[in-house]
């Protein structure tokens, strides 16, 4: 397995281009199932996760080609198959989002449950609640969900989510876009990726109001058309590089980043002593040599502090002056990076969903193990700020969600390289 080797201590100076958002791109790819015309996605990130989903969509009959770099054309002229097997769904939870579009277009589907995940149980009850509200009959047996639409197809309905789940909101939107009449999603998630999906579905012909607020209204259509859509900038990639600059020191412009998509993070970074400001083509992040202050954070659904940046923020706090309390409220088991950060010298105590990080003056490089996507990149951040050499093992987690990570960082002066298996 590949490893990433970092010689810490270099400042990050220059520019980093921010890719399209992984979490948005995956749901937009599923939207291709809703139309018999081509959907072209631009600023499309090239990631292991989008390849996994591509394999599943191809099995369902979608023709996929990469017309140009960062451009993906998906054409579901007809759906050849409505069965999504375990092997193709288990690798990535977002694959489950094909269920709603398949039922909406074909009237039936059989899709494997996504299964467990390292960061928590992550059930799909809210996804199924939404599809049932639209009239789907759902059966679960032998690890598969079988769903059937009523004879006239899915029907718009009121869907009241007990928790503002991102995945369930998106799944409901995808299915409702081809349902008859109006769907109202109450307590909807408000993440920028929801707005991005709404923009794409609207361009395809659905009428959608309220995306980005807690109430989303969707007028479904009998038919949707193909469009070209630019994927929103990745706010988690933005957060990650911003925190890398803050940890290692430096002055970097994150090109294409949207300031408004990370307000909670920026306010915590300001409080810590980092400069963050909007510039013409993105966001500038700068930190001079002085030591940062500790800041407490609590993860919350958007617009709160994103759970997907919690591990990276912990890496920054490991070097801050004083103690920081980090509370994780979205996932129940999301501190697996803490013992790995401790290998570099971080002083972290975890009690349930709370971690207390006592800042130390310096971290020292060490071999560490990536445990999940965001946890792995927190180790990279810590390695960039540490003295000496850090080796991050099991980097396939990073490849799921970060495009050209080493190239983007080394372009700004980081000493980071990938060593292939055996090297
Ligand atoms: C998405 C993101 C993930 C991010 C998360 C929260 C993608 C591909 N992934 O995940 O990176 O960390 O949003 O911002 O977009 N839940 C239920 N039942 C359900 C659905 C969710 O109990 O049917 C629970 C989950 O277990 C979790 C919480 O709700 O504890 C948040 O999940 P959700 O908002 O749905 O996140 P995902 O869509 O899985």
Q: Judging by DSSP bridges, how do beta strands 71-75 and 39-42 pair with one another?
A: antiparallel
Q: How far is ligand 1, taken at its centre, from the CA of residue 388, in Å?
A: 37
Instruction: Give the residue carrying structure tokens 């980005």.
Output: 212
Nearest atom (ligand 1) to Cα of 23: 15
The region of weakest confidence among 121-125, 126-130, 339-343, 403-407 is: 121-125
Which pair of structure tokens corresponds to residue 76? 């579901």
Ligand 1: residues with CB < 6 A are 23, 26, 93-94, 120-127, 163, 165-168, 307-308, 330-331
Residue 306: per-residue pLDDT:
98
Task: Work out the pLDDT band at 118, boundaries 50, 70, 90.
Answer: low
Instruction: Give the residue carrying structure tokens 């939207």.
Output: 31
Whose Cα sits closest to atom 25 in ligand 1?
A: 122
Which pair of structure tokens corresponds to residue 278? 């909007």
Q: C-alpha dihedral over 72, 75, 81, 87, to 10 degrees?
A: 0
320-377: per-residue pLDDT in tens?
999 999 999 999 889 999 999 999 999 999 999 999 999 999 999 999 988 888 888 9
Q: How far is ligand 1, taken at its centre, from the CA of residue 359, in Å?
A: 30
Counting ligand 1 atoms within 8 A of each CB, the residue from 166, 302, 312, 375 with the most, and so the one to mutate, is: 166
> Are the C-beta atoms of residues 247 and 384 closer than 8 Å to each other?
yes
96-117: per-residue pLDDT in tens?
999 999 999 999 999 999 865 5
How many whole angstroms separate alpha carbon 423 and alpha carbon 421? 6
Q: What percent of the chain has pLDDT over 90?
A: 88
Which pair of structure tokens corresponds to residue 327? 């509370």
Q: Based on DSSP, count helices (H) and strands (E) in the chain, helices before strands.
A: 14, 24
Q: What are the catalytic residues?
A: 117
Whose Cα sits closest to atom 8 in ligand 1?
A: 23
Q: C-alpha dihedral over 408, 412, 415, 420, to 10 degrees?
A: 10
Q: Which domains does the chain have, with CATH numbers?
A: 3-18+234-419 (3.65.10.10), 22-230 (3.65.10.10)
Task: Work out the pLDDT band at 120, boundaries 50, 70, 90.
Answer: low
Counting ligand 1 atoms within 8 A of each CB, the residue from 28, 122, 353 with the most, and so the one to mutate, is: 122
Nearest atom (ligand 1) to Cα of 189: 34
Q: How far is ligand 1, taken at its centre, from the CA of residue 311, in Å?
A: 16
48-88: per-residue pLDDT in tens?
899 999 999 999 999 999 978 899 999 999 999 999 999 98
Q: How far is ligand 1, taken at its centre, from the CA of residue 165, in Å?
A: 5
Which pair of structure tokens corresponds to residue 418? 């990938």
164-206: per-residue pLDDT in tens?
999 999 999 999 999 999 999 999 999 999 999 999 999 999 9
Residue 400: per-residue pLDDT:
86
Strand arrangement of the beta sheet that strand 12-17 belongs to: 12-17, 250-255, 282-287, 275-279
Q: How far is ligand 1, taken at its centre, from the CA of residue 208, in Å?
A: 22
Residue 399: per-residue pLDDT:
86
At residue 66, what are phi and psi to the nearest 5 degrees?
Answer: -95, 95
Region 294-322: mean pLDDT is: 97
């Amino acid at each position: 397995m590949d490893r990433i080797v970092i010689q810490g201590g270099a400042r990050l100076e220059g520019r980093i281009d921010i890719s399209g958002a992984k979490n948005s791109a995956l749901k937009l790819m599923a939207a291709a199932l809703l139309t018999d015309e081509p959907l072209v996605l631009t600023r499309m990130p090239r990631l292991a996760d989008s390849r996994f989903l591509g394999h599943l969509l191809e099995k369902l009959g979608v023709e996929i080609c990469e017309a140009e770099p960062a451009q993906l054309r998906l054409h579901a002229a007809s759906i050849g198959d409505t069965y999504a097997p375990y092997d193709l769904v288990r690798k990535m939870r977002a694959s489950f989002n094909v269920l709603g579009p398949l039922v909406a277009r074909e009237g039936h589907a059989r899709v494997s449950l996504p299964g467990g995940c390292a960061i928590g149980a992550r059930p799909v009850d809210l996804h199924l609640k939404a599809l049932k509200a639209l009239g789907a009959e759902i059966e679960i047996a032998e690890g598969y969900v079988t769903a059937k639409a009523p004879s006239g197809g899915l029907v718009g309905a009121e869907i009241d989510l007990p928790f503002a789940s991102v995945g369930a909101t998106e799944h409901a939107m995808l299915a409702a876009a081809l349902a008859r009449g109006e769907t109202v999603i109450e307590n909807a998630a408000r993440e920028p990726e929801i707005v991005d999906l709404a923009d794409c579905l609207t361009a395809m012909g659905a009428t959608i109001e309220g995306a980005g607020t807690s109430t989303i209204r969707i007028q479904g259509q009998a038919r949707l058309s193909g469009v070209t859509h630019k994927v929103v900038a990745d706010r988690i990639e933005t957060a990650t590089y911003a925190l890398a600059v803050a940890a290692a020191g430096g002055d970097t412009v994150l090109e294409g980043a949207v300031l408004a998509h990370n307000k909670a993070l920026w306010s915590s970074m300001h409080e810590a002593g980092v400069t963050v400001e909007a510039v013409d083509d993105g966001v500038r992040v700068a930190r001079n040599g002085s030591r940062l202050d500790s800041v407490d954070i609590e993860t919350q659904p958007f617009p709160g502090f994103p759970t997907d940046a919690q591990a990276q923020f912990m890496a920054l706090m490991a070097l801050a002056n004083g103690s920081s309390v980090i509370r994780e409220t979205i996932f129940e088991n999301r501190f697996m990076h803490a013992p790995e950060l401790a290998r570099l010298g971080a002083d972290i105590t975890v009690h349930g969903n709370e971690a207390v990080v006592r800042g130390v003056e310096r971290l020292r490089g060490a071999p560490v193990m990536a445990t999940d996507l965001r946890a792995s990149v927190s180790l990279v951040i810590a390695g960039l700020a540490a003295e000496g050499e850090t080796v991050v093992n099991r980097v396939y987690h990073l490849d799921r969600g970060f495009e050209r990570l080493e190239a983007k960082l080394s372009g700004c002066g980081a000493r980071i390289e990938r060593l292939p298996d055996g090297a």
